[in-house]
């Protein structure tokens, strides 16, 4: 079953999240410190909807991973294709998703023996901080709204 990009955007705004890692780790093979930047997306929901995402965009399904049902995750190109599909239709989380899109576009498939240029590393880290700030602001707003409801109720 096909889902419209508008419907997917609304569902992602309500139930989705970005996975952004801008970090340095020790290489298992060489022992050197290397960039381990990663971009992905995840969405929770009923099995039928999650399966449709897997069919249309790739990624992996984690059955019963959350109390809300299954969890779908996609990384790299698959995540970028999904984000490109929903981004024009996103309303409430536009800044966060645009920063995620920009982060995804800074990633390259392989750097080989060359290190990632410093300017690119700084840009990735800047975008990761921006996304984290937007995410924290959104969570803070949700907490405030819940507290107001509890006081009124």
Question: DSSP letters along 2-53, please?
Answer: ---HHHHHHHHHHHEEEEEE--EEE-TTT--EEE--EEEEEEEE-HHHHHHH
Q: What is the pLDDT of residue 108?
A: 64
Q: What is the pLDDT of residue 114?
A: 59
Tens digit of pLDDT per residue, the chain (153 long)?
568 999 999 999 988 888 887 777 777 777 777 667 788 899 988 888 888 899 999 999 988 766 667 889 998 889 989 999 999 999 999 999 999 888 888 876 555 445 677 888 888 889 988 988 888 887 776 677 777 777 876
């Amino acid at each position: 079953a096909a889902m419209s990009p508008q419907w997917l955007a609304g569902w992602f705004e309500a139930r989705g999240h970005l996975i952004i890692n801008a970090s340095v780790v020790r290489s298992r093979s060489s022992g050197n410190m290397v960039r381990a930047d990663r971009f992905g997306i995840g969405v929770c929901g009923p099995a039928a909807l999650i399966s449709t995402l897997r069919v249309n965009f790739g990624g992996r399904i984690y059955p019963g991973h959350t109390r809300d049902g299954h969890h779908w995750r996609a990384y790299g190109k698959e995540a970028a294709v999904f984000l490109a599909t929903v981004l024009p239709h996103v309303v409430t989380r536009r800044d966060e998703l645009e920063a995620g899109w920009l982060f995804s576009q800074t990633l390259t498939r392989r750097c080989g023996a060359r290190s990632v240029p410093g300017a690119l590393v700084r840009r990735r880290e800047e975008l990761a901080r921006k996304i984290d700030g937007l995410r924290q602001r959104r969570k803070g707003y949700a907490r405030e709204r819940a507290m107001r409801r509890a006081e009124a109720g």
